Amino acid sequence: MSYQVFARKYRPQTFDDLVGQTHVTRTLKNAVEQNRLAHAYLFVGPRGIGKTSTARILAKALNCVNGPTVTPCGVCDSCKEITAGNSLDVLEIDGASNNGVEQVRELRDNVRYAPSKGHFKIYIIDEVHMLTSAAFNALLKTLEEPPPHVKFIFATTEPQKVLPTILSRCQRFDLHRIPANLIAQHLQFIAGKEKITLDPAAAHAIAKGADGGLRDAESMLDQLVAFCGDQIAEPDVLSVFGFTSEQTVAQFTEKILRGETPGALELLHAEADNGRDMMKLMSDLISYLRDLLVGKVKPEALADDLNPDLQKSLEAQAAMIETDRLLELIDQFAAAEGRMKWAPNKRLHFEVAVIKAIQTLSQVTLNEVIENLAALRDGKAPSSSSSEGRASARPTSSPKPETARVAEKPSAPDPKTAPPPAPSSIDHKDVWRQTVERVRSTRKLIAGWVEAGTALGIEGRFLTVGFPPEQKTAMESLSIPKTRDYLDALLKEISGQDWKIKFVLKEGLPVVEAMGAPVQPDPKKPETQATFKDDPLIREALEIFKGEIRTVND
């Protein structure tokens, strides 16, 4: 018997064998069990996710000798013929090569004949969007009112090209891209059957490169077996297909976030010298930044696509950058990717994009400008270097100006005369209360944001401060590197411990309206306008910018 590739050898034969399409299999099973079978089905989705396989399984479920049943036996003549593709009652038609009106007319003439041995006569038309408009129109009447023994099953990757009159006559099922973790698990299943040693990292690299297509992943595994034999490691996958490991992309991103231009360019040059495709590396970088953005906003959304080690890296890097900065980075790299498509020297554009991104992270934000203006108003010296504003993850050799100013206050404890108390004897709630009071007297602009936080406890070197989800904006505003440095220095002074503040979102905490939160005018309460004008932050902003509040009527 000739060799059979993995994609054919391990093609799913039952509904339970389908990977990652539970929403489709459940509906089809219920339809078969309850005898609520439609006369036409349309399976939609990208390549290699199981559209044609689902159509064949449905055909076996209907024409099995025990059918209609959700568990076709697979051993009867009908099941074997459908699996082999030579059943007289299940006709698979390629829509790309049989797209003319004459072929459809022939099909329309044949539907009147009863099945030879099965319960139904089933027509599976793959890539149905390739049919011409005339062919679609010739099929309309038959599709709407077929004989009771006829079922149509269509499959397509481009449903927008199918006529609306055809779509309205079908039950549509959208098959999803398969999560990387499920693909990796299935590859390990195949490796076990084939007596192949497949490293978990290699399986995940294949799954990531397949981009949600199980057939692509199986074909890649087949190719790797021919190249490596029965021992497959992650370097083999990267070498054969020119992929970049997820760890390398994570290191590359961290160097960019830390502003390490020489290190980032050195890593980029190393990947280029190893023959990596610059377009693929740029795509991987943008995809990683997307994961970083999603992980920052909704961490649980990445559980099915990332391995645990990479999730830890994302969590650590998410604390190094604000959401608006991350969005700006994605926009910049996406624009660079567009330029690289038509550029002969893709490496040059990649280098420029990396340098520009690092410079962008060093630029002063609007929040930092407001802080400097507030410092000038209070008679303090503003920060002299804008690059200090993004140094939360970068090692520093000297204290920030604000840290030094806090240390010079008379109330600071003298470590030579008074030893710091043991951490276990310190009331973290009292420390946070003192910190809030100090901020009220020294940094009025951020006092409202600080008041919205609640001290939750000590975790190692961190004082965890929780914010309710309604105060997420206040938490992100306090996460600005310079503000965080100021609060860390203040916390160290008050507690006498080398603690830092860790901000988290937590449900169930009391909602304290942060200073500067937008005030929604209530037409039923005329006093709302006066309350808005009396807001301390509004008064501070008006005084700094020499502004005034004017209504629309003014």
Q: Say which CATH number the domain at 227 has.
A: 1.10.8.60
pLDDT value for 484: 81
Q: Please, are residues 65 and 78 in contact by the beta-carbon 8 Å criterion?
A: yes
How crowded is residue 143: how many other Cβ atoms within 10 Å of its Cβ? 21
Q: Is 130 domain-assigned? A: yes
Enter the tokens of residue 192: 């076990």
Enter the tokens of residue 494: 């008050």
Cα(74)–Cα(90) distance, rounded to whole angstroms?
15
pLDDT value for 536: 59
Q: Please, are residues 44 and 159 in contact by the beta-carbon 8 Å criterion?
A: yes
Same domain membership, residue 426 and residue 354: no
Q: Is 269 domain-assigned? A: yes
Same domain membership, residue 17 and residue 132: yes
Same domain membership, residue 411 and residue 305: no
pLDDT value for 409: 41
Token pair 């220095």: residue: 489
Same domain membership, residue 103 and residue 37: yes
Total tally of structural domains belonging to the chain: 5
Q: Residue 12 is part of which domain span?
A: 6-174
Same domain membership, residue 75 and residue 17: yes
Q: Is 69 domain-assigned? A: yes
Same domain membership, residue 527 and residue 500: no
How crowded is residue 14: how many other Cβ atoms within 10 Å of its Cβ? 15
Final residue of a structural domain among 362, 381, 411: 362
| pTM beyond 0.85, yes or no | no
- How far does the chain reach from its first CA to its final CA, in angstroms? 89
Q: Is 413 domain-assigned? A: yes
pLDDT value for 97: 84
Question: What are the respective helix, strand and coil percentages of the chain, to the nearest 5?
Answer: 55, 10, 35
Assign residue 282 the CATH number of its domain. Answer: 1.20.272.10
What is the SS3 string spanning 6-67?
Answer: HHHHCCCCCHHHCCCCHHHHHHHHHHHHCCCCCCEEEEECCCCCCHHHHHHHHHHHHHCCCC
Enter the tokens of residue 277: 């495709």
Q: Is 403 domain-assigned? A: yes
Same domain membership, residue 473 and residue 326: no
Final residue of a structural domain among 201, 225, 241: 241
Same domain membership, residue 215 and residue 78: no
Same domain membership, residue 492 and residue 426: yes
pLDDT value for 472: 83
93: phi then psi, degrees, rounded to nearest 5: -120, 135
Cα(55)–Cα(279) distance, rounded to whole angstroms?
36
Same domain membership, residue 210 and residue 114: no
Q: Is 376 domain-assigned? A: no
What's the Rg (C-alpha) of the chain? 32
Q: Is 372 domain-assigned? A: no
Q: Please, are residues 95 and 129 in contact by the beta-carbon 8 Å criterion?
A: yes
What letter would DSSP give residue 121?
E
Final residue of a structural domain among 346, 362, 378: 362
Cα(198)–Cα(253) distance, rounded to whole angstroms?
28
Q: Please, are residues 191 and 198 in contact by the beta-carbon 8 Å criterion?
A: yes
Same domain membership, residue 139 and residue 14: yes
Q: Is 370 domain-assigned? A: no
**Average pLDDT for runs of 10 along the chain of length 554:** 85 92 93 92 93 94 90 90 90 85 87 88 92 89 89 93 92 92 93 92 90 92 91 90 88 92 93 89 92 84 75 84 88 93 91 92 72 68 47 40 40 47 67 87 81 84 85 82 84 84 83 49 45 60 68 52
pLDDT value for 380: 64
Greatest extent of the chain over all pairs of C-alpha atoms, in Å? 102
Assign residue 139 the CATH number of its domain. Answer: 3.40.50.300
Same domain membership, residue 432 and residue 330: no
Question: Which string of DSSP letters, residue by residue, matches 412-456?
Answer: S--TTTSPPPPGGGS-HHHHHHHHHHHHHHH-HHHHHHHHT-EEE
